[in-house]
Chains A and B, each alone.
Chain A
Amino acid sequence: MLLVLVCRDQQAEPHTRRISLHMLLLEIKAGDPRTEKMPVDQDWTAVYPSATPFRPNAVPLPLRMGYPVKGGVPPEKKGNLELLKIPNFLHLTPVAIKKHCEALKPFCTEWPSALDTDATCDEHFPIKVDGTDYVSAGPSVRNPSARVVHLRVKLSSLNLDDHASKKMLKLVGNKYCKDTDVITIKTDSCPLRQQNQDYAMYLLTVLYHESWKTEAWEAEKSVADMEEYSWEDSPSQRNLLDVLVRRKAAGEGEGEGEEVREQLLGRSEVQEYKDSVTRLKNEGESESAVLQYKEAVKKVLNL
């Protein structure tokens, strides 16, 4: 229709042709999509400053989306519901992200350069507290799992002596991991995370101070309660010494119990036997441990 008007103008006043053509180029017809007028180097963040649904007249891309008709192509972007349904990231182009981050940088702080490895972090800050936050859309903003707190601390980083660390392990029970030497305290009994954090720290404090105490009934600790096997005063030591003493008595006819025992204990083969037995009992049975035991027995009994 516009073309027809132009032709009429040209016929009526030929000397004004250029002016009307110029006006045609400049004239903004209401029906034209905005994409026609977009320059290539425009500021895209001005077009999509925040999360908005997809507008086909504002996105100058030849997009096609949807399942194609038989023998056809996916439908075009005009009036396409699929493009409206899917969340778009048109407001988060790399340029937009850079702009946002430039505005956010003044609020950030730097990580201290001295704590660059995990080892230094563990050395200076041995206690690790874990908390989880949940973000989701739903009728409620709250998530009951957000109150759970895990407190992890390495046993070696606490100031404990031998007795205290053994007592601590007994108090803590299955919350201790032998491989990583870490005590994990999980608290979820309080309704708020801050309360759970405080409770976990309180538990750690109580464990620490209680493990330093020595109660009267701890003197009744028997061999069954011991954490590690010790060869002294064990049936294995008694049996070995009996065998060796009887051998010696049979061979040379000497007999003065205590001194003979001391001498025998001092011998290197007996020490080797002791090491191999302790290793078997503490670390469990493995090929190398059993072989070591075999060698030690052969040496002690002169086989």
Chain B
Amino acid sequence: MAAPMALRRELFSLTRIIGGISRLGPRAVGACSGHGTNNITRSLLPLASCTSFHTTTVFSSTPSSITVTEEADTLYQKVSLLVKGHDRAVLDSYELFATTAAKELNITINKVHEQPKDMDRFTLLKSVHIFKNHRVQYEMRTHYRCIELAHITGCTAQVYLEYVQRNLPEGVAMAVTKTSMEKVPDHILKPLWEDHPIDNELSQ
């Protein structure tokens, strides 16, 4: 399949490793574990010859085994992706990609909006020495795009975010804010003092 091979190719761009996202457990393609690096180098050799001809190799892999654990899945009420870049056209294309991917994976999209751009301007002296009256001005424009998704489970969020982040174009940054919902834990359901009354002298 083109998909696992394409994803494996993304692993080569190591600068885009996600910070703080736990690795995908049940995926056979995921080479995040220690021995995975050897797998990458080994797979480089058969692929290198094919890259120049731009053909897909028939990737003979063992079918990825999906393990289902009893652990409860986290529930995210809201996942908001804020993408920042210097080029608005790149962000437009990326937004199209992210929204299409979300629709394909049946993720509800709350809102897609564009934050107004930030312009970072500064004025410097044009010359190395003296000539204070001659300056040069620079500005850096940062464009934003915010994609808000609602009602996602932990597994789906992991899959979607990893897919979308591996295909983040160069020069674009992303900040993902996840709001997870939790039940009130058992130790906050009832006050402790009903069962074990404490003397006031002790508390003083």
Contacts and interface: CB of A to CB of B under 8 A. Distances in A.
Contacts of B32: none
A128 B77 contact: yes
Interface stretch (B12-20, B35-43, B125-133, B138-146): B12-20
Interface residues of A, number: 69
Interface of B is mostly: mixed
Contacts of B135: none
Contacts of B173: 134-137
A201 to B, nearest CB: 7
17 contacts: A45-B56, A47-B54, A86-B87, A100-B6, A108-B105, A108-B155, A111-B75, A111-B152, A129-B179, A132-B175, A133-B161, A135-B16, A159-B190, A159-B191, A164-B191, A212-B191, A215-B204
Nearest to B66: A106
Nearest to A104: B159
Interface residues of B, number: 80
B131 to A, nearest CB: 30
A193 B20 contact: yes
Contacts of B167: 51, 92
Contact of A109 (B155, B163, B169): B155
Given A104-B105, A121-B77, A129 B182 contact: yes
Interface of A: 45-51, 58, 86-87, 89, 91-92, 94, 96-112, 115-116, 118, 121, 124-138, 141-143, 146, 157-159, 164, 193, 201, 204-205, 208-209, 212-216
Contact of A110 (B5, B56, B153): B153
B174 A134 contact: yes
A26 to B, nearest CB: 20
Given A45-B56, A205-B188, A97 B97 contact: yes
B183 A127 contact: yes
Contacts of A158: 184, 188
Interface string B1-36: 111111101100101111111001011000000000
A135 B18 contact: yes
A49 B4 CA distance: 11
Nearest to A153: B184
Contacts of A94: 100
B3 A100 contact: yes
B93 interface: yes
Contacts of A45: 2, 56
Most B CB within 10 A of own CB, among A50, A58, A115, A216: A50
User: Sorted from nearest, which 3 A-B pairs have the closest CB atoms?
Assistant: A87-B169, A125-B181, A103-B3
B126 to A, nearest CB: 24
B22 to A, nearest CB: 10
Contact of A137 (B7, B170, B178): B170
Given A51-B167, A101-B105, A108 B159 contact: yes
A107 B181 contact: no
Contacts of A146: 19-20
- Greatest chain B CB density within 10 A among A92, A115, A142 is at A92
B54 A133 contact: no
A28 B152 CA distance: 52
A108 B75 CA distance: 13
